[in-house]
Chain A
């Protein structure tokens, strides 16, 4: 895994291990690569000597980890990838299947939910990720495509951040360069939190859409904004499906080479049940408290 520190990764792992356990498959090792390509390459090469039937891996980089993943596959291990495919790896030859969220669908959902909050002729910001990363690229493309097709009156102003730490700065620069922005889309929730924290100091109140229903995004949704729309991934389901795919592959069954799980559209109206569905635990008390203060909601 890229990390075991985040809720998202822990949910994915839970879905994986529980499903593998249900199938009678033994998990011999779980590696936290700490976002380090070197650590992932070392782990993959070490696992290679143990000759497992299958490896489920979330590549932490692109070209840097491609060869290590390909070596594993060439040695006969069924390789199931999570979230993204390292550059140059091809289905069938280098891996069995990619299991990810439908990132294109997530971008489209965010656009569909944000659209009604935008006035005619609005100028809105798109805060993308400045890295060669398939998932965020797909979200950005799909968001822009939906707007182009369904709201041609809207002008998109695009800025990108290279790391979460500078997302706030990027959002501020964008807002300064285009002071008339009446909405914002950020490609996932953690940089959205950074962006909103920076923008709030300058009086930002316009609607925001993002991907993933983190705790802060849920609280913002429940309190009526600025986040008004979230397209949520389902990490537990992703883990469970990756495990099923690995088992089927080991059994010699055909599997699709790309399995994309649909995202959940989340607004103020369904934030509690969506939080429970995504995280498999009750929504935070702040979310419930905010909703209880709103007549007719919850």
Chain B
């Protein structure tokens, strides 16, 4: 195969006649890189066997991938009789992904390598009722600080991935070209535009339920699962669906908004969010404390001035009967909705997450009871219903995986692999050119003042 140079490969446009060598190469390069990256093949022999490629093609493509800094063949594997095979490793250390999670009360930031492994994380309180520009300013300050703490080759960002507390409508199958609508009050926010201009890399964005689902799938209870149902219980209740080992987003990224479903609790009818979410749990705890039905809750309220859902959860875990009943009621309502989904979807695992679900056993038990009671026996035969243990790291790990999957998805990868860097993607180059042509005021969002972190 001829040596491929950057000059040869600047375009996707195909002329008449035979396809150019680089065009035929890119399909096999994409396949081989993804076989190596996902661990499906770790030696040349495995690549030949799994990818059904000839020896010469594998040797040629690996030479190019090594030259591009995307794979590394410097290590030897274990010998199985003859000479030890050379291991083919994905060069995950060749770049970084900046990640951030925004929820109602906290901002989390981190940095991961190209395998999605989190290398550094930081969480701090944040108020999302603040203007988007203030949140973005803090986020970019923290990103700058994290980048300043990285040293050595391969520490430049390749992507930014954000987790936001609302569904993200997405058009197209690659990175974002503009900031989608996120929260009321954040209209006109320039998250994507600012981050692209500041860091010069593509940006991905997903809802917090989706990133947590991705985190759980790749690093938590869902490792190796092909069908998983992830349920986050907070102020809003949402579900993440994993089908065939991949996050299912639906037509517009709105899959799993189960908090909107109508449910009935006694004589009351409302949405699942309103009747089983953390605001209801806190409110009912507050009422019980004020009416003197629970001395423990009354004591907690006296000490803290008010009650949160997590405090009611702790009280339940400590055996407070009123708190147990509040959480059981919430768990039963969630369980009935989850059972409907489980019957429709037949997951191998259901993971409950969110601070309320993760701080007591009562909610988990109530959900289990409802799901087992309302499901077809085949649905529950091997079903596991567990509590997430990943805490706030899930969103950051998941956000990193969203970007990694996005960067290396075949349609995306094919457009940049011959240049060895995602910023060479023609559509991204065009986006940067367009944004760089905008007035400087548009870039002012998120520019931290000197000497601040």
Contact = CB atoms under 8 A, between A and B. Distances in A.
A8 B334 CA distance: 47
Given A132-B149, A138-B122, A257 B453 contact: no
Nearest to A160: B149
Contact of A156 (B120, B397, B452): B452
Contact of A145 (B124, B219, B360, B390): B124
Interface string B208-222: 000000000001110
A88 B218 CA distance: 12
A254 B120 contact: no
B220 to A, nearest CB: 6
A60 B388 CA distance: 28
B118 interface: yes
B220 A254 contact: no
Nearest to B219: A90
Given A137-B122, A141-B122, A90 B453 contact: no
Contacts of B328: none
Interface in A172-215: none
A195 B76 CA distance: 47
A93 interface: yes
Residue in B117, B120, B450, B452 whose Cβ sees the most chain A Cβ within 10 Å: B452
Given A148-B452, A156-B451, A91 B393 contact: yes
B119 interface: yes
- Residue of A134, A142, A145 with most partner-chain B CB within 10 A: A145
B453 A144 contact: yes
Nearest to A128: B149
Contacts of B181: none
B388 to A, nearest CB: 7
Contacts of B361: 254
A59 B453 CA distance: 27
Given A104-B124, A132-B149, A158-B451, A88 B119 contact: yes
> Which among B317, B397, B453 has the greatest number of chain A C-beta atoms within 10 A?
B453
B389 A140 contact: no
Contact of A92 (B117, B391, B453): B391
Contact of B390 (A90, A140, A157, A254): A90
A229 B391 CA distance: 34
Contact of B389 (A63, A92, A155): A92
Nearest to A104: B124
B452 A93 contact: no
B94 interface: no
Nearest to A253: B317
Contact of A257 (B360, B389, B450): B389
Nearest to A131: B149
B89 to A, nearest CB: 16
Nearest to A62: B119
B145 interface: yes
Contacts of B453: 140-141, 144-145, 148, 158
B359 interface: yes
* Most B CB within 10 A of own CB, among A87, A92, A148: A92
Interface string B108-126: 0000000001111010100
Interface in A123-169: 132, 134, 137-138, 140-142, 144-145, 148, 155-158
B61 to A, nearest CB: 29
A137 B146 CA distance: 9
Contacts of B389: 91-93, 257
Interface string A223-265: 0000000000000000000000000000000101110000000
Contact of B397 (A90, A144, A158, A254): A90
A256 to B, nearest CB: 8
A260 B389 CA distance: 17
A142 B124 CA distance: 9
B101 to A, nearest CB: 15
Interface in A84-103: 87-88, 90-93
A90 B393 contact: yes
A112 to B, nearest CB: 15
Contacts of A142: 124
B49 to A, nearest CB: 29
A137 B219 contact: no
Nearest to B448: A148
B451 A157 contact: yes
Nearest to B146: A137
Contact of B219 (A87, A93, A256): A93
Nearest to A140: B453
Contacts of A134: 120
A110 to B, nearest CB: 15
Nearest to B125: A104
Contact of A254 (B117, B360, B451): B360
A157 B124 CA distance: 22
A134 B119 CA distance: 11
Given A91-B390, A91-B393, A254 B317 contact: yes
B136 to A, nearest CB: 15
Given A104-B124, A254-B360, A88 B452 contact: no
A141 B388 CA distance: 29
Contacts of A88: 117-119
Contacts of B452: 144, 148, 156
Contacts of A91: 389-391, 393
Contacts of B317: 254
A254 B122 contact: no
A204 B383 CA distance: 67
B124 A92 contact: no
19 contacts: A87-B118, A87-B119, A90-B220, A90-B390, A91-B390, A91-B391, A92-B390, A132-B120, A138-B122, A140-B453, A141-B124, A145-B124, A145-B453, A148-B452, A148-B453, A155-B451, A158-B453, A254-B317, A258-B391
Interface of B: 117-120, 122, 124, 142, 145, 149, 219-221, 317, 359-361, 388-391, 393, 397, 450-453
Interface of A: 63, 87-88, 90-93, 104, 132, 134, 137-138, 140-142, 144-145, 148, 155-158, 254, 256-258
Given A88-B117, A90-B118, A93-B390, 6 more contacts: A90-B220, A91-B389, A137-B149, A138-B122, A141-B145, A144-B453
